[in-house]
Amino acid sequence: MQKLLLKNIKQLIQVRETGLEVIKGKSMRELPLIENAWLAIEDGRIADYGGMDDFPGISDWKGLEVIDCSGRIVMPCYADSHTHIVYAGNRELEFVDRINGLSYEAIAQRGGGILNSSALLRQTSEQELLEQSRVRLKEIQSLGTGAVEIKSGYGLDLDSELKILRVINALKEESGMPVKATFLGAHALPKEYKTDKAGYIRLVTDTMLPAISAEGLADYIDVFCENGYFTAVETRLILEAGQKYGLKGKVHAEQLSHSNGIATAVACGAISVDHLEYCTTEDMALLQQSNTIPTILPGAAFFLNLPLPPARQMIEHDLPVAFASDYNPGSSPCGNMNFMMSLGCIQYKLTPEEMINACTINSAAAMDVLNEVGSITIGKRANIIITKPISSYAYIPYAFGNAPIESVWINGQKNTL
């Protein structure tokens, strides 16, 4: 049996009892921690913890690996509840086009954007796609992510969507961390259906969904509810079709305009609704009456220079706000959750405590893995971060662009990259 003991931990943060739920509103300012702590891990799970003052008398040191964490902070890994890391190639030429004045929407209208990634992905073999995506998965793991949701949506035809979902499931198998797969066939209208949107929606609901379900390839269904993509009415139809196959909804909503995505997500009982740049006070009232978790994607708002979603007001409205990276080639080519923490503190004026809650417990709830990860809780997976020697946890968002991480542990095993 594997036995690991971390001792002399400067601060063991996000320590919670079992039976934990999302953290809402004012409570997001609380971050329970133990100063000068120890943490015991057995067989990849958190076995016990406490303060060094009541350090346990260990009778059997045989086979016990001991790590001295003096000066270091230990925290649960981040849960990144919204990514698109299975894609082919990159889109830095569009990045340059945007610098030179073209908008994200204008690039999409001339056939670039998501369709550009889709064209590349369709030509890429499943093996090659797996290899490219694995690099990103390992990269985010080394930056502290210990659970991830990954969407399809760059295939936009049956075979290519299946290809992406199979790659996600291969990553699920090999990574050892919780991975959730989301079917995002309704990400954009592929060019072969340019004049037949109803036909493409039928392809998603009547052909893709049954095939995906037959192979058990997805946990969630998602829709890009936006002007020029899918309307609220179409979003509802697609989410309801997914529900028939047991897939809970997630929605890309109110990113570039107010398109009633939040109202639709709430009406359909979606687990989360993400982006939210154009979220209104009425939307916040709707979210209050629901279990749908509002998720901010600060990397996309930063990269596209969008107006900032009202995260601070959402917390004032007693909502459980989550943050995720949206790692994708078009609007957030970055999966570094340490940087998302910095953006949350600097741009959205959330405190480090609020951001840590948003990126661990609330984001874990937004992908339904809170029973496994997201806090230092007895019985949960030992998916943890040991920082470099730092003065306090506020240093993590403060040192933006850095990742002051010494090591990342997944199921009690040190990530070796």
Residue 382 near residue 409 (C-beta atoms within 8 A):
yes
Shortest distance, CB of residue 208 to ligand NIG, whole angstroms? 18
Q: What are the C-alpha distances in Å from 175 to residues 87, 89, 208, 262?
A: 17, 22, 26, 32
Which 329-358 positions form the footprint of ligand NIG (CB under 6 A)?
Answer: 329-331
Which 166-195 positions form the footprint of ligand NIG (CB under 6 A)?
Answer: none
Shortest distance, CB of residue 91 to ligand NIG, whole angstroms? 7
Q: Which of 124, 235, 255, 295 binds ligand NIG (CB under 6 A)?
A: 255
Site string for ligand NIG, 198-237 (x = CB under 6 A): --------------------------x-------------
Q: Which of 114, 177, 221, 322 binds ligand NIG (CB under 6 A)?
A: 114
Find the part of the chain contacting ligand NIG (CB under 6 A) among 210-218, 286-294, 322-330, 358-366.
322-330
Query: Which residues are at the interface with Fe ion (CB under 5 A)?
Result: 326
Q: Say if strands 179-186 and 220-224 run parallel, antiparallel, or are unpaired.
A: parallel
Q: Toward Fe ion, which CB reaches closer, 31 or 324?
A: 324
Residue 133 near residue 68 (C-beta atoms within 8 A):
no
Q: Which of 81, 117, 182, 295 binds ligand NIG (CB under 6 A)?
A: 117
Q: Toward Fe ion, which CB reaches closer, 161 or 326?
A: 326
| Phi, psi (degrees; rounded to nearest 5) at 42 | -130, 130
Q: How many angstroms separate the CA atoms of 344 and 334, rounded?
A: 15
Q: Toward ligand NIG, which CB reaches closer, 78 or 229?
A: 229
Q: Which of 53, 57, 46 is nearest to 17 (CA)?
A: 46
Residue in this structure with the two tokens 């009541």, named with its chain if needed: 54
Q: Which of 10, 16, 45, 252 binds ligand NIG (CB under 6 A)?
A: 252
List, in sequence order, the alpha helices (H) in 271-389. Answer: 281-288, 298-303, 311-316, 337-346, 352-359, 361-365
Q: Toward Fe ion, which CB reaches closer, 157 or 326?
A: 326
Q: Toward Fe ion, which CB reaches closer, 75 or 265?
A: 265
CB burial readout 75-89, b (16+ within 10 A) else e: bbbbbbbbbbbbbbe
Which 271-300 positions form the footprint of ligand NIG (CB under 6 A)?
Answer: 300
Quick check: 268 binds ligand NIG (CB under 6 A)?
no
Residue 307 near residue 50 (C-beta atoms within 8 A):
no
Angle at 192 between CA 187 and CA 195, to 5 degrees: 85
Joined together, the tokens standing for residue 83 give 């990514």
Find the part of the chain contacting ligand NIG (CB under 6 A) among 122-130, 313-321, 326-334, 400-408.
326-334
Residue 117 binds which entry of ligand NIG, Fe ion, none, with Cβ cut-offs from 5 to 8 Å by kind? ligand NIG
Interface positions with ligand NIG (CB under 6 A): 113-114, 117, 224, 252, 255, 300, 326, 328-331
